[in-house]
Each structure stands twice: as structure tokens, then as C-alpha cells.
Structure 1
Amino acid sequence: MNESFDLDGFVDALRHAALQEDAPKALRRLMDEAVSDSDLMAAAIPDFGEDLILFEDDTVSIWYCHFTPGMTVPPHDHQMSAVIGVFRGQERNDFFERAPDGGLQKSAEVVLGAGDALSIGPSAIHAVTCTSATPCNGIHVYTGRLTTVTRSLFDPKTGRAIPFDDANYEALMRPDG
């Protein structure tokens, strides 16, 4: 077992894994190993209090994610594979499929606590809710440049797809969104 966790070293290892032939599996192996000692990871990574891009290029985006208690990120897609590792708190991922009427229907739910990891395929639609009484922190890794890909948010009431941009995100994050 490691005696310390090095965030910069982890980011470098993820960058290398993203170049492998089966990047999603290589990234998941690294994430499983890193979060297996979530206490060590949490002690080494400060709570930055907001999302932070740790690294991004055309092969990989590595984010520190921060969700406050009760916060729900509206349904969205990534258009690329992703690996999530939680090292503090707890989050619920609600997965959706398109319903015959054009709306969304919930198809699965996965709860991640400190020490858990999850792989998400490129066509997945999911929403994330912090279900712990304390903030939930994790490392989210995407197999491409997340900030420039065209992707969608989905109105949770109607299922209507809208462009994923800051204005739409903020509108759906409001309680009346």
C-alpha cells in the first residue's frame, strides 16, 4: 500500500494511459487503484471548493469535481468515454434513455461513495446528485477535450436536448430550471 498520494503523478499516469490502445480500460485500472485508498487520496488533495481542470489536451481531460450537498447536475452527455473516481462524500448517478415520446426515462442508478469508481460509455446520458451531508469530490477523466466537444444538456422535465453551454447549464441548475 502507498504511504502517500501524488496528484501530479496521478495526472501524469492518466495522461499516459489515455494514449493506450484501450484507453477507457487503462484509465479505469488507474482510477480503481487510486481510489482504493480514498482516505490517502483525500488527505493529499485539498477541497478546492469548485470544479477545476487539472489537465486537458486532445487525448484526455482530467477534472477535479466538487459537488455540494443536494446539488444536482442536470442530465447531460459527454460524447466520449469517462471514468469517475470518488474520494470524498457520495454521489448518485442517474442514467437515462430516450423515451418513445422524446422525453427521458430513468434506466439505472449508481451510487458512488469514497473509494468507488465508475466507467461511462460515450453515448450515456446521466445526471449527478451529491447525496452526502458533506461535499462530494472526485476525479473525472474523459477520453478527449471535453471543453470543445459539442454535447447536450437535457431538460429533466421535457427531455428536450439543448446545447451544453454555460447559460443553459446555469438555467437548468436553478430550482425553477
Structure 2
Amino acid sequence: MDVMHASPTFTIFAAHWTPQMNLLPHDRMMKASIGIHTGREDIILWRRSGEGIEASGVNCLFAGDIAELPVDGIRSATNPLPR
């Protein structure tokens, strides 16, 4: 990751994904904005349930797209591309 700005309340970084990279469900406990410069990111949104977590939505982001994640948001993500 390349950190472009960091302060106690706001950080901007560029993440570089490998082909078909996957991130397991995780929460950030903070608001987040995700912007795609090139490539693609598929996001599965999760919510807490009595059984743990369950899928509650999906968002496919392409170059130029931006997604807002709430403070309590849980997501998993994948780069479905072979590059």
C-alpha cells in the first residue's frame, strides 16, 4: 500500500491487488470510501446475525466507481480479474 496522506482523523492510501486476490469478511470500525482507479473490485456486504454473519448485499466496482461503507460495515472483497 502507498500512503498518500495520513493524519489522526483521515488517511488516504492506494492498495495494489494481485490477480484474483480475496479478502475475508472484516470490519473497519470506521467510515470508509473506496474508489477504483483501474481494474475491478467485487464487494460482499455482511451483517451480524444470531448465527454470526450473513451476506446482505453485493457491489461490483469498476474504474471510476466509488463506494461508501458505514462505520459498522462488514465486507469481503475480491479482484475477479486475472491481472
Provide the TM-score with structure 2 as the length reference.
0.92
Q: How many matched pairs?
A: 83
Higher helix share: 1
- Percentage of pairs with the same residue: 29
1:133 positional shift: 2.3
Q: After the TM superposition, which residues 23-172 of structure 1 pair with which residues of structure 2 at under 5 Å, given as runs?
A: 51-101=1-51, 103-134=52-83
Runs (4+) off by over 2 Å: none
1:123 positional shift: 0.4
Structure 1 unmatched ranges of 5 or more: 1-50, 135-177
Structure 2 unmatched ranges of 5 or more: none
Q: Cα RMSD over matched residues?
A: 1.0
Q: Which one has more relative contact order, counting CA pairs under 8 Å at least 6 apart?
A: 2
1:122 positional shift: 0.5
**Per-residue deviation, residues 18-77 of structure 1 (Å, max 9, x unmatched):** xxxxxxxxxxxxxxxxxxxxxxxxxxxxxxxxx222221112011101111211111111
